[in-house]
Amino acid sequence: MMMKTKDNIDYWSLMAKYYANECSNEEVNQLNSWISENPENEILFYQVKEDLENINLSKSMKKVNVDLAWDKVKNRIQETETEEPSVESKVKTLTISRVFKYAAAIVLLVSIGFFVTKLYQSYSKLNVYAENTDQGKVVTLPDGSRVTLNSDSKLIFPKKFAQNERRVKLEGEAFFDVSKNAEHPFIIETKSAEVKVLGTTFNVNAKYPGDQVEVFVETGLVQLSDIKNTENKIIINPGDVGTFQNTSISKSPNMDVNRMAWKTKELVFKENYIRDVISTLNRTYNTNITCNDESVLNLRYTVTFRNQEIESVLNVIAVTFDLKIEQTETEIKLVKKSI
């Protein structure tokens, strides 16, 4: 029951050790690399976590002698061997041993066969939404909460939430309209931070390089914390932006009127430099607009766009400043027309 990649690492064993809090830093890095290889690995990893939480492993571990449990599991394996095992079967037994030594308590609760089956069923128990071009896709969660995804974003969530909380995982950017439920907090995991609410509307942006995460709160209160140290946290009020970066968490009033333009499709510029206009357009439409002419970049612009496609927006800018648009497969250039 080994699961390996080209580096010959047993990831069943790594997951078992990880959830038993016995992974070294190197093993954690190996597991993170495997998770990032493809969505299926990520789905499996988080479904195993959900399964362990659902059977309340932490409480069960306190009541079960793990070494004794492992002895029973090992005896069951040995009883099935009716003849002298080959070298290959010995290696296989050792591999299974490593996995179930860390998961022996689970084995006593649900049996080896059921647990392994649950792991393989993981692929069908989580929904994944990965949107590369379909900006603004709305996803309705099991509790009725609605999530609007930005482009190049992914949301992972179970078909049914756990009994004590509503937990999802986000990569990229999304706007959340969370149904109120004081007894079941709504938790969003990103790579480096965790966002916790009871019921509110807010935007989470984890698209930034590194571990930076920004949370803009529209209504209600939102808690932003370090995923590795949940005691490091702040409460964000409506109209404020919370920022997590390099274990530092801060908040400040939102000064960007176009922060939600990717969702509202309304852009407002008041004496903004063209360089800032281009930056906002790239963020809003997920484009790569460039301009290398400083005389153009330093121009100021006042205009409002509502529900216009990027082509229309660029045509208006080009006409206003007598520019031409040069488009390739990888970028859109704004160039001053030759006299």
Q: Looking at residue 212, which CATH number applies to its domain?
A: 2.60.120.1440
**3-class DSSP state of 321:** helix
Q: Quick: pLDDT tens for 236-271.
A: 999 999 999 988 999 999 999 999 999 999 999 999
User: Which tokens hold the place of 158?
Assistant: 């179970």
Residue 52 shares a structural domain with residue 62: yes
Query: Is residue 4 a part of any domain in this protein?
Result: no
Residue 284 shares a structural domain with residue 199: no
Query: Is residue 196 a part of any domain in this protein?
Result: yes
The CATH code of the domain that includes 275 is 3.55.50.30
Q: Are 188 and 170 in contact (CB under 8 A)?
A: yes
Give the pLDDT band of residue 85 (cuts 50, 70, 90).
low
- H or E segment and range at residue 249: strand 248-253
What was the pLDDT predicted at 59? 46
Q: Whole-number mean pLDDT of the chain?
A: 79
How far is 214 from 202, CA to CA, in rounded Å? 10
Tell me if the pTM is above 0.75. Answer: no
Chain position carrying tokens 């176009």? 258
Last residue of a domain, one of 123, 144, 162: 123
Question: Phi, psi at residue 297, to the nearest 5°?
Answer: -60, -30
How far is 26 from 332, CA to CA, in rounded Å? 42
Residue 95 has pLDDT above 90, yes or no: no
How far is 62 from 232, CA to CA, in rounded Å? 28
Query: Is residue 49 a part of any domain in this protein?
Result: yes
Query: Is residue 152 a part of any domain in this protein?
Result: yes
What was the pLDDT predicted at 238? 95
What was the pLDDT predicted at 7? 54
What range does the domain containing 99 cover? 11-123
The angle subtended at Cα 36 by Cα 35 and Cα 37, nearest 5°, is 95
- H or E segment and range at residue 201: strand 201-205
Residue 165 shares a structural domain with residue 214: yes
Residue 246 shares a structural domain with residue 304: no
User: Which tokens hold the place of 94?
Assistant: 């050792």
For 280-301, give one letter per residue: b (16+ CB within 10 A) or e. bbebbbbeebebeeeebeebeb
Give the count of domains, the chain. Answer: 3
User: Which tokens hold the place of 271?
Assistant: 């004496």
Of the listed ranges 13-17, 41-45, 88-92, 161-165, the one predicted with least confidence: 88-92
Residue 22 shares a structural domain with residue 81: yes
Average pLDDT over residues 105-134: 50
Beta-bridge partner residues of 233: 225
Last residue of a domain, one of 95, 123, 151: 123
Residue 217 shares a structural domain with residue 299: no
Residue 164 shares a structural domain with residue 249: yes
Residue 186 has pLDDT above 90, yes or no: yes
Higher pLDDT residue, 208 or 25?
208
Residue 198 shares a structural domain with residue 118: no
User: Which tokens hold the place of 38?
Assistant: 């493809």
Helices (H), the chain: 11-19, 25-37, 39-54, 57-63, 66-79, 87-102, 104-110, 112-121, 261-264, 274-285, 294-297, 310-321
Provide CB contacts within 8 A for 236, sequence distance 6+: 202, 215, 217, 221, 222, 223, 224, 242, 251
Residue 78 has pLDDT above 70, yes or no: no
Residue 129 has pLDDT above 90, yes or no: no
Residue 316 shares a structural domain with residue 329: yes
